[in-house]
Structure 1
Amino acid sequence: MNTDSLDPNWIRDWAAAVTAHLQSVLAAFDTYYPFPPGENEVVLAAPDQLDSLDALRAQPATPPDLVTFYKVINEVAMPDIGNAFFIHAADATISQLSDGPALLNDGDAGTIFASNGGGILYAIGRDSRVHRSHAASPDSDFEPIATNLRDFLEQLRDAVAHFAATGTPGDL
């Protein structure tokens, strides 16, 4: 099991970097697109959200890193970055778990916490590895794409930075 954990200060720095890249994209948005942008933002956690995290923490499929993330960030919505990307609100992640955890290819149980505009799902295993679904279904096969949540968040930040610099989606 991965013992690395996210530091709340690192998450805040990550959020600031992603927000700066989003602002760069949005500042030039009308130059490239004939429609207004959607709500592209990193939404910080509210104090009243901390109580709902007990339900997430109680789920055996949820690693501590995801709980730490949700203590700082409630959700991330980027409908205009690449093909869109979303880290679901904490309540939506908890609600998704009421249907049971996702079964990952390595046999581990996973918590679905993110998706893209095509419906591809991202789940985090108990070992903190992040997996990507092959199709827009929680019953799809999932393959690992990041060694832990921090690695995944770094990949996401880099994809947003790539989009801000080039206007083309980065890999994720």
Structure 2
Amino acid sequence: MPGERLDAKWVRSWWEQADAALTKLMQAFLPTHGFPPGHNAVTLATDDSDRATDALVDLTPIPSDLTTLYWVISDASLPDIDSGYFIHSPATAAEQFRKYGPAPIEGEWIAIVFAGGGGGCLFAIGDSGQVWKSTTASWFDEYELAAASLQEFLEHLSRRIANQP
């Protein structure tokens, strides 16, 4: 998939599938695990998140796939999927970029941190379109390749949701 750009219709379809899988998972969560789930949701974009995306674009040369993602969804909170996955809102991504700058990933001109994991790892998308995962819970340590594209990252996340016990 490298070289292909993320399509907004595909992201909307991904959201619909993820939302349906989360609904099913949350209905079975308490009987399966013996305790209630956290708030698990993928939130569609709003006028506020669209303005925040515009502000992020003005702040930095944001990778186009991340812009496409943010035009469709504003964020995701998935604390009960594995150790947790969280797609940051565009406002949070911009705030963190102002505070910390780009993720230091060799070979990427710029990389924007857009997500995190429950264990503290960070996910960044580089100008190449590849998604990188921090090897520690630090903004400034090494990153390793997590997915060849944002679409591949989202597909992986869908599989994690669907296969969560």
TM-score, length of structure 1 as denominator length: 0.88
The 1:70/1:107 distance shift into structure 2, 3 A limit, reads closer
Q: Deviations over 1:112-152 (max 9, x none)?
A: 00111000100000111000100001111001121111111
1:170 corresponds to: none
Q: Deviations over 1:38-94 (max 9, x none)?
A: 110010010232222122223445201101100110001111111111111111011
User: 1:13: Cα distance to partner?
Assistant: 0.5
Separation in 2 of the partners of 1:69 and 1:154?
13
1:123 corresponds to: 124
TM-score, length of structure 2 as denominator length: 0.92
Separation in 1 of the partners of 2:144 and 2:107?
8
SS of residue in 1 equivalent to 2:139: coil
> Is 1:56–1:94's contact at 8 Å kept on the other side of the alignment?
yes
Separation in 1 of the partners of 2:34 and 2:163?
22
The one-letter code matched in structure 2 to 1:80 is D
User: 1:8: Cα distance to partner?
Assistant: 1.1
The 1:53/1:162 distance shift into structure 2, 3 A limit, reads same
Q: Give the share of equivalent positions with the same residue, in percent.
A: 36
The 1:29/1:132 distance shift into structure 2, 3 A limit, reads same
Separation in 2 of the partners of 1:134 and 1:110?
15
Separation in 1 of the partners of 2:158 and 2:106?
26
Q: How many residues align?
A: 163
Separation in 1 of the partners of 2:114 and 2:50?
17
The one-letter code matched in structure 1 to 2:90 is A
> Is 2:125–2:131's contact at 8 Å kept on the other side of the alignment?
yes
1:102 corresponds to: 103
After TM superposition, what 4+ stretches of structure 1 lie above 4 angstroms from structure 2? none
> Is 1:120–1:137's contact at 8 Å kept on the other side of the alignment?
yes
The one-letter code matched in structure 2 to 1:138 is W
1:136 paired with 2:144, answer no
Separation in 1 of the partners of 2:142 and 2:159?
25
Q: Deviations over 1:138-169 (max 9, x none)?
A: 11100112111111111111121121xxx1xx
> Is 2:49–2:89's contact at 8 Å kept on the other side of the alignment?
no
The one-letter code matched in structure 2 to 1:82 is D
SS of residue in 1 equivalent to 2:120: coil
The one-letter code matched in structure 2 to 1:139 is F
Separation in 1 of the partners of 2:49 and 2:78?
21
Separation in 2 of the partners of 1:106 and 1:144?
12
Higher share of residues assigned helix: 2
Provide the aligned C-alpha RMSD in A.
Answer: 1.5
1:16 corresponds to: 16
